[in-house]
A = this chain, B = another copy of it.
Protein backbone atom coordinates (compact mmCIF):
# COMPACT_ATOMS: atom_id res chain seq x y z
CA UNK A 1 0.00 0.00 0.00
CA UNK A 2 1.30 3.46 -0.87
CA UNK A 3 0.03 7.00 -0.61
CA UNK A 4 -0.94 8.77 -3.82
CA UNK A 5 0.69 12.19 -3.95
CA UNK A 6 -2.03 14.87 -3.89
CA UNK A 7 -4.57 12.05 -3.91
CA UNK A 8 -8.28 12.66 -3.63
CA UNK A 9 -11.65 11.14 -4.46
CA UNK A 10 -11.02 11.33 -8.20
CA UNK A 11 -7.65 9.54 -8.04
CA UNK A 12 -9.10 6.06 -8.77
CA UNK A 13 -9.69 5.48 -12.49
CA UNK A 14 -12.93 6.57 -14.04
CA UNK A 15 -14.15 9.07 -11.44
CA UNK A 16 -14.97 12.72 -12.19
CA UNK A 17 -16.03 15.57 -9.96
CA UNK A 18 -16.81 19.27 -10.01
CA UNK A 19 -18.28 22.02 -7.86
CA UNK A 20 -19.71 25.50 -8.03
CA UNK A 21 -20.95 28.30 -5.86
CA UNK A 22 -24.75 28.34 -5.78
CA UNK A 23 -25.13 30.88 -2.96
CA UNK A 24 -26.49 28.27 -0.53
CA UNK A 25 -23.89 29.04 2.14
CA UNK A 26 -24.55 32.53 3.49
CA UNK A 27 -20.83 33.22 3.63
CA UNK A 28 -20.39 32.30 -0.05
CA UNK A 29 -17.88 29.95 -1.67
CA UNK A 30 -18.23 26.53 -3.27
CA UNK A 31 -21.33 24.79 -1.92
CA UNK A 32 -22.70 22.46 -4.59
CA UNK A 33 -20.92 19.55 -6.24
CA UNK A 34 -21.13 16.30 -8.11
CA UNK A 35 -19.05 13.14 -7.94
CA UNK A 36 -19.64 10.57 -10.65
CA UNK A 37 -18.22 7.48 -12.23
CA UNK A 38 -17.96 6.89 -15.97
CA UNK A 39 -19.64 3.52 -15.46
CA UNK A 40 -22.12 2.00 -12.96
CA UNK A 41 -20.74 1.22 -9.50
CA UNK A 42 -21.32 -1.18 -6.68
CA UNK A 43 -22.44 1.13 -3.85
CA UNK A 44 -22.55 0.60 -0.10
CA UNK A 45 -23.12 3.13 2.63
CA UNK A 46 -23.59 3.81 6.30
CA UNK A 47 -25.91 6.49 7.56
CA UNK A 48 -26.82 8.39 10.72
CA UNK A 49 -28.37 6.37 13.55
CA UNK A 50 -30.15 9.51 14.74
CA UNK A 51 -33.90 8.83 14.55
CA UNK A 52 -34.26 12.18 12.85
CA UNK A 53 -33.07 11.41 9.33
CA UNK A 54 -32.63 14.23 6.87
CA UNK A 55 -34.43 13.94 3.51
CA UNK A 56 -31.20 13.24 1.52
CA UNK A 57 -30.38 10.38 3.91
CA UNK A 58 -33.81 8.85 3.36
CA UNK A 59 -33.30 9.15 -0.40
CA UNK A 60 -29.75 7.75 -0.42
CA UNK A 61 -30.53 4.87 1.96
CA UNK A 62 -33.22 3.79 -0.47
CA UNK A 63 -30.76 3.86 -3.41
CA UNK A 64 -27.93 2.13 -1.55
CA UNK A 65 -30.35 -0.63 -0.56
CA UNK A 66 -30.28 -1.62 -4.23
CA UNK A 67 -26.48 -1.95 -4.03
CA UNK A 68 -25.64 0.29 -6.96
CA UNK A 69 -25.27 3.94 -7.89
CA UNK A 70 -23.20 6.01 -10.27
CA UNK A 71 -23.10 9.55 -8.87
CA UNK A 72 -23.51 11.69 -5.78
CA UNK A 73 -24.87 15.23 -5.73
CA UNK A 74 -24.11 17.20 -2.60
CA UNK A 75 -24.63 20.65 -1.15
CA UNK A 76 -23.42 22.51 1.92
CA UNK A 77 -25.17 25.36 3.73
CA UNK A 78 -28.58 23.73 4.14
CA UNK A 79 -29.14 20.25 5.65
CA UNK A 80 -32.64 19.68 4.25
CA UNK A 81 -33.50 18.09 7.62
CA UNK A 82 -36.79 18.50 9.53
CA UNK A 83 -38.40 19.70 6.33
CA UNK A 84 -41.17 17.10 6.12
CA UNK A 85 -42.66 15.84 2.87
CA UNK A 86 -41.59 18.90 0.83
CA UNK A 87 -37.99 18.20 1.87
CA UNK A 88 -38.22 14.65 0.55
CA UNK A 89 -39.50 16.02 -2.74
CA UNK A 90 -36.61 18.49 -2.88
CA UNK A 91 -34.07 15.69 -2.36
CA UNK A 92 -35.69 13.64 -5.13
CA UNK A 93 -35.72 16.69 -7.39
CA UNK A 94 -32.03 17.32 -6.69
CA UNK A 95 -31.25 13.72 -7.75
CA UNK A 96 -33.38 14.18 -10.87
CA UNK A 97 -31.66 17.43 -11.87
CA UNK A 98 -28.22 15.88 -11.44
CA UNK A 99 -29.29 12.73 -13.32
CA UNK A 100 -30.52 14.85 -16.23
CA UNK A 101 -27.15 16.60 -16.46
CA UNK A 102 -25.28 13.28 -16.28
CA UNK A 103 -27.66 11.38 -18.55
CA UNK A 104 -28.46 8.90 -15.79
CA UNK A 105 -31.64 7.85 -14.01
CA UNK A 106 -32.47 9.65 -10.75
CA UNK A 107 -32.26 6.26 -9.05
CA UNK A 108 -28.52 6.12 -9.89
CA UNK A 109 -27.81 9.35 -8.02
CA UNK A 110 -27.24 9.59 -4.28
CA UNK A 111 -27.93 12.89 -2.49
CA UNK A 112 -26.18 14.44 0.53
CA UNK A 113 -26.68 17.75 2.28
CA UNK A 114 -25.06 19.47 5.25
CA UNK A 115 -25.72 22.77 7.00
CA UNK A 116 -28.51 24.39 8.96
CA UNK A 117 -31.43 22.16 10.02
CA UNK A 118 -35.06 23.15 9.41
CA UNK A 119 -34.72 25.19 6.22
CA UNK A 120 -35.87 24.25 2.73
CA UNK A 121 -33.30 23.92 -0.04
CA UNK A 122 -33.16 26.88 -2.47
CA UNK A 123 -34.14 24.65 -5.42
CA UNK A 124 -33.91 27.33 -8.09
CA UNK A 125 -30.34 28.17 -7.18
CA UNK A 126 -29.52 24.46 -7.04
CA UNK A 127 -30.98 23.87 -10.50
CA UNK A 128 -29.00 26.81 -11.91
CA UNK A 129 -25.84 25.77 -10.06
CA UNK A 130 -25.92 22.19 -11.30
CA UNK A 131 -25.88 23.48 -14.89
CA UNK A 132 -22.68 25.44 -14.10
CA UNK A 133 -20.70 22.47 -12.82
CA UNK A 134 -18.02 21.09 -15.11
CA UNK A 135 -16.72 17.65 -14.26
CA UNK A 136 -13.09 16.58 -14.51
CA UNK A 137 -10.70 13.98 -13.21
CA UNK A 138 -9.03 16.74 -11.16
CA UNK A 139 -12.36 17.84 -9.67
CA UNK A 140 -11.96 15.98 -6.37
CA UNK A 141 -10.15 18.91 -4.72
CA UNK A 142 -12.96 21.32 -5.58
CA UNK A 143 -15.57 18.87 -4.34
CA UNK A 144 -13.66 18.47 -1.05
CA UNK A 145 -13.93 22.25 -0.62
CA UNK A 146 -17.60 22.39 -1.64
CA UNK A 147 -18.71 20.09 1.20
CA UNK A 148 -17.03 22.18 3.93
CA UNK A 149 -19.20 24.06 6.45
CA UNK A 150 -17.26 25.14 9.53
CA UNK A 151 -14.31 23.01 8.38
CA UNK A 152 -11.11 25.01 8.06
CA UNK A 153 -9.37 22.73 5.54
CA UNK A 154 -10.46 20.19 2.91
CA UNK A 155 -9.94 16.55 3.86
CA UNK A 156 -8.80 14.25 1.08
CA UNK A 157 -6.52 11.29 0.49
CA UNK A 158 -5.89 8.40 -1.87
CA UNK A 159 -3.87 5.21 -1.42
CA UNK A 160 -2.98 2.57 -3.99
CA UNK A 161 -2.23 -1.14 -3.72
CA UNK A 162 1.52 -1.91 -3.67
CA UNK A 163 1.23 -3.58 -7.07
CA UNK A 164 -0.89 -0.76 -8.44
CA UNK A 165 -3.84 -3.08 -8.97
CA UNK A 166 -6.35 -0.68 -7.37
CA UNK A 167 -6.66 2.76 -5.84
CA UNK A 168 -8.99 4.02 -3.07
CA UNK A 169 -9.74 7.73 -2.74
CA UNK A 170 -11.78 9.70 -0.27
CA UNK A 171 -12.95 13.12 0.87
CA UNK A 172 -14.75 14.05 4.06
CA UNK A 173 -16.17 16.96 6.02
CA UNK A 174 -16.79 17.19 9.70
CA UNK A 175 -16.10 19.95 12.22
CA UNK A 176 -19.09 20.10 14.61
CA UNK A 177 -21.90 17.82 15.79
CA UNK A 178 -19.59 14.84 15.46
CA UNK A 179 -19.92 11.78 17.65
CA UNK A 180 -19.32 8.05 17.43
CA UNK A 181 -22.00 6.50 15.23
CA UNK A 182 -21.74 9.31 12.72
CA UNK A 183 -21.92 13.05 13.49
CA UNK A 184 -22.57 15.70 10.74
CA UNK A 185 -20.06 14.01 8.74
CA UNK A 186 -19.97 13.29 5.09
CA UNK A 187 -17.38 10.96 3.59
CA UNK A 188 -17.36 9.92 -0.04
CA UNK A 189 -15.00 7.10 -0.92
CA UNK A 190 -14.24 5.78 -4.39
CA UNK A 191 -12.30 2.84 -5.72
CA UNK A 192 -11.55 1.39 -9.10
CA UNK A 193 -11.19 -2.08 -7.58
CA UNK A 194 -13.54 -4.71 -8.88
CA UNK A 195 -15.19 -5.81 -5.69
CA UNK A 196 -18.54 -7.38 -4.95
CA UNK A 197 -21.14 -5.80 -2.76
CA UNK A 198 -20.86 -8.20 0.19
CA UNK A 199 -17.10 -7.74 0.46
CA UNK A 200 -17.35 -3.96 0.02
CA UNK A 201 -20.06 -3.71 2.66
CA UNK A 202 -18.10 -5.76 5.18
CA UNK A 203 -14.90 -3.83 4.46
CA UNK A 204 -16.66 -0.49 4.96
CA UNK A 205 -18.23 -1.51 8.27
CA UNK A 206 -14.90 -2.76 9.56
CA UNK A 207 -13.10 0.43 8.49
CA UNK A 208 -15.74 2.82 9.84
CA UNK A 209 -15.84 1.02 13.17
CA UNK A 210 -12.21 1.83 13.99
CA UNK A 211 -12.11 5.25 12.32
CA UNK A 212 -15.14 7.54 11.94
CA UNK A 213 -17.00 5.83 14.77
CA UNK A 214 -14.06 6.56 17.10
CA UNK A 215 -14.16 10.32 16.55
CA UNK A 216 -16.06 12.61 18.87
CA UNK A 217 -16.18 16.40 18.77
CA UNK A 218 -19.12 17.38 20.93
CA UNK A 219 -21.31 14.34 21.53
CA UNK A 220 -24.04 15.54 19.20
CA UNK A 221 -25.02 13.47 16.19
CA UNK A 222 -26.53 14.88 13.06
CA UNK A 223 -29.50 13.73 10.97
CA UNK A 224 -27.34 13.94 7.82
CA UNK A 225 -24.33 11.68 8.38
CA UNK A 226 -23.35 9.65 5.40
CA UNK A 227 -20.40 7.49 4.40
CA UNK A 228 -20.61 6.01 0.92
CA UNK A 229 -18.22 3.94 -1.20
CA UNK A 230 -18.57 3.67 -4.96
CA UNK A 231 -16.59 0.90 -6.66
CA UNK A 232 -16.57 1.04 -10.47
CA UNK A 233 -14.43 -2.04 -11.19
CA UNK A 234 -12.18 -0.31 -13.76
CA UNK A 235 -9.04 -1.79 -12.20
CA UNK A 236 -7.99 -5.04 -10.52
CA UNK A 237 -10.24 -7.73 -9.11
CA UNK A 238 -10.40 -8.08 -5.33
CA UNK A 239 -11.85 -11.46 -4.39
CA UNK A 240 -13.04 -12.42 -0.92
CA UNK A 241 -10.37 -14.25 1.10
CA UNK A 242 -7.54 -13.29 -1.27
CA UNK A 243 -4.32 -11.50 -0.37
CA UNK A 244 -5.59 -8.47 -2.26
CA UNK A 245 -8.75 -8.47 -0.13
CA UNK A 246 -6.52 -8.08 2.94
CA UNK A 247 -4.71 -5.20 1.32
CA UNK A 248 -8.02 -3.68 0.22
CA UNK A 249 -9.26 -3.77 3.81
CA UNK A 250 -6.03 -2.25 5.09
CA UNK A 251 -6.16 0.49 2.44
CA UNK A 252 -9.81 1.31 3.12
CA UNK A 253 -9.14 1.46 6.87
CA UNK A 254 -6.12 3.69 6.20
CA UNK A 255 -8.21 6.10 4.10
CA UNK A 256 -10.99 6.21 6.71
CA UNK A 257 -8.55 6.62 9.61
CA UNK A 258 -6.73 9.46 7.86
CA UNK A 259 -10.01 11.26 7.17
CA UNK A 260 -11.27 10.58 10.72
CA UNK A 261 -8.11 12.10 12.21
CA UNK A 262 -8.52 15.12 9.91
CA UNK A 263 -12.08 15.55 11.15
CA UNK A 264 -10.96 15.35 14.79
CA UNK A 265 -8.08 17.77 14.22
CA UNK A 266 -10.47 20.21 12.54
CA UNK A 267 -13.19 20.07 15.23
CA UNK A 268 -14.91 23.42 15.64
CA UNK A 269 -12.56 25.82 17.39
CA UNK A 270 -9.97 23.05 17.87
CA UNK A 271 -6.30 23.83 18.37
CA UNK A 272 -5.13 20.26 19.06
CA UNK A 273 -5.80 16.68 18.00
CA UNK A 274 -6.30 14.38 21.00
CA UNK A 275 -5.53 10.70 20.50
CA UNK A 276 -6.66 8.38 23.30
CA UNK A 277 -5.45 4.80 23.37
CA UNK A 278 -6.91 2.45 25.97
CA UNK A 279 -4.95 -0.79 26.38
CA UNK A 280 -5.18 -4.05 28.28
CA UNK A 281 -8.96 -3.85 28.69
CA UNK A 282 -11.06 -6.91 29.54
CA UNK A 283 -13.04 -6.58 26.30
CA UNK A 284 -13.05 -4.62 23.06
CA UNK A 285 -16.31 -2.95 24.08
CA UNK A 286 -14.67 -1.80 27.32
CA UNK A 287 -11.64 -0.39 25.50
CA UNK A 288 -13.84 1.45 23.01
CA UNK A 289 -16.18 2.85 25.68
CA UNK A 290 -13.32 4.10 27.84
CA UNK A 291 -11.44 5.68 24.91
CA UNK A 292 -14.54 7.44 23.61
CA UNK A 293 -15.65 8.65 27.04
CA UNK A 294 -12.24 10.17 27.75
CA UNK A 295 -11.97 11.93 24.39
CA UNK A 296 -15.56 13.19 24.68
CA UNK A 297 -15.26 14.63 28.19
CA UNK A 298 -15.64 18.43 28.12
CA UNK A 299 -13.47 18.68 31.21
CA UNK A 300 -10.66 16.61 29.66
CA UNK A 301 -10.99 18.62 26.43
CA UNK A 302 -10.81 21.92 28.29
CA UNK A 303 -7.80 20.73 30.33
CA UNK A 304 -5.98 19.71 27.13
CA UNK A 305 -6.80 23.12 25.67
CA UNK A 306 -5.04 24.71 28.64
CA UNK A 307 -2.09 22.25 28.48
CA UNK A 308 -3.11 21.22 31.98
CA UNK A 309 -2.03 17.66 32.96
CA UNK A 310 -5.19 17.33 35.08
CA UNK A 311 -5.20 13.52 35.01
CA UNK A 312 -7.90 13.15 37.65
CA UNK A 313 -10.49 14.08 35.02
CA UNK A 314 -9.22 11.29 32.76
CA UNK A 315 -9.51 8.68 35.52
CA UNK A 316 -12.96 10.00 36.41
CA UNK A 317 -14.02 9.65 32.76
CA UNK A 318 -12.85 6.02 32.74
CA UNK A 319 -14.85 5.51 35.92
CA UNK A 320 -18.11 6.63 34.36
CA UNK A 321 -17.52 4.95 30.98
CA UNK A 322 -19.03 1.68 32.12
CA UNK A 323 -15.84 -0.28 31.44
CA UNK A 324 -14.54 -2.82 33.92
CA UNK A 325 -11.54 -1.50 35.76
CA UNK A 326 -9.60 -1.77 38.96
CA UNK A 327 -8.65 1.63 40.33
CA UNK A 328 -5.49 0.21 41.88
CA UNK A 329 -4.18 -1.18 38.58
CA UNK A 330 -4.59 1.73 36.16
CA UNK A 331 -1.55 3.39 34.56
CA UNK A 332 -1.81 6.65 32.66
CA UNK A 333 0.57 8.38 30.28
CA UNK A 334 0.33 11.89 28.81
CA UNK A 335 2.45 12.30 25.69
CA UNK A 336 4.38 9.21 26.84
CA UNK A 337 5.13 10.56 30.33
CA UNK A 338 3.78 8.36 33.13
CA UNK A 339 1.58 10.44 35.46
CA UNK A 340 -0.37 7.68 37.24
CA UNK A 341 0.97 4.27 38.25
CA UNK A 342 -1.29 1.73 39.95
CA UNK A 343 -4.10 4.27 40.33
CA UNK A 344 -2.19 6.91 42.25
CA UNK A 345 -0.14 9.97 41.30
CA UNK A 346 3.27 9.12 39.85
CA UNK A 347 5.84 11.89 40.18
CA UNK A 348 6.16 13.98 37.03
CA UNK A 349 7.42 17.42 36.13
CA UNK A 350 4.25 19.45 35.56
CA UNK A 351 6.04 22.06 33.50
CA UNK A 352 7.60 19.46 31.24
CA UNK A 353 4.31 17.67 30.58
CA UNK A 354 2.48 20.96 30.09
CA UNK A 355 5.12 21.95 27.53
CA UNK A 356 4.68 18.63 25.71
CA UNK A 357 0.92 19.22 25.69
CA UNK A 358 1.36 22.62 24.08
CA UNK A 359 1.93 21.04 20.66
CA UNK A 360 -0.78 20.28 18.10
CA UNK A 361 -1.18 16.63 19.14
CA UNK A 362 -1.78 15.34 22.65
CA UNK A 363 -1.71 11.62 23.31
CA UNK A 364 -3.43 9.98 26.26
CA UNK A 365 -2.57 6.37 26.94
CA UNK A 366 -4.46 4.39 29.56
CA UNK A 367 -3.44 0.90 30.54
CA UNK A 368 -6.17 -0.90 32.49
CA UNK A 369 -3.92 -3.92 33.11
CA UNK A 370 -6.83 -6.34 33.12
CA UNK A 371 -6.91 -8.01 29.70
CA UNK A 372 -5.74 -7.96 26.12
CA UNK A 373 -8.04 -5.55 24.27
CA UNK A 374 -7.30 -2.09 23.01
CA UNK A 375 -8.95 0.77 21.13
CA UNK A 376 -8.03 4.24 19.91
CA UNK A 377 -10.31 7.27 19.74
CA UNK A 378 -9.75 10.78 18.43
CA UNK A 379 -11.10 14.17 19.35
CA UNK A 380 -10.01 17.73 19.89
CA UNK A 381 -9.67 20.28 22.64
CA UNK A 382 -12.53 22.53 23.71
CA UNK A 383 -11.87 26.20 23.08
CA UNK A 384 -13.72 29.43 23.63
CA UNK A 385 -14.01 29.64 19.86
CA UNK A 386 -16.19 26.49 19.79
CA UNK A 387 -18.71 28.35 21.90
CA UNK A 388 -18.70 31.54 19.87
CA UNK A 389 -19.01 29.58 16.60
CA UNK A 390 -21.99 27.63 17.86
CA UNK A 391 -23.71 30.52 19.57
CA UNK A 392 -24.19 32.24 16.21
CA UNK A 393 -24.55 29.50 13.62
CA UNK A 394 -28.15 29.87 12.43
CA UNK A 395 -28.52 33.65 12.75
Contacts and interface: CB of A to CB of B under 8 A. Distances in A.
B84 A320 contact: no
B312 A117 contact: yes
B52 A327 contact: yes
Interface string A296-322: 111100110110111111011111100
Given A305-B387, A383-B387, A313 B223 contact: no
A29 interface: no
A340 interface: yes
Contacts of A296: 219
B302 A387 contact: yes
Given A387-B382, A388-B384, A328 B298 contact: no
Interface in A363-395: 382-384, 386-395
A350 interface: yes
Nearest to A312: B117
A177 interface: yes
A51 interface: yes
B390 A51 contact: no
A79 interface: yes
A355 interface: no
Of A51, A179, A303, A309, most B-chain CB atoms within 10 Å:
A51
A220 B176 contact: no
A315 B387 contact: no
Nearest to A306: B391
Contact of A345 (B119, B176, B220): B119
A233 B50 CA distance: 51
A116 B84 contact: no
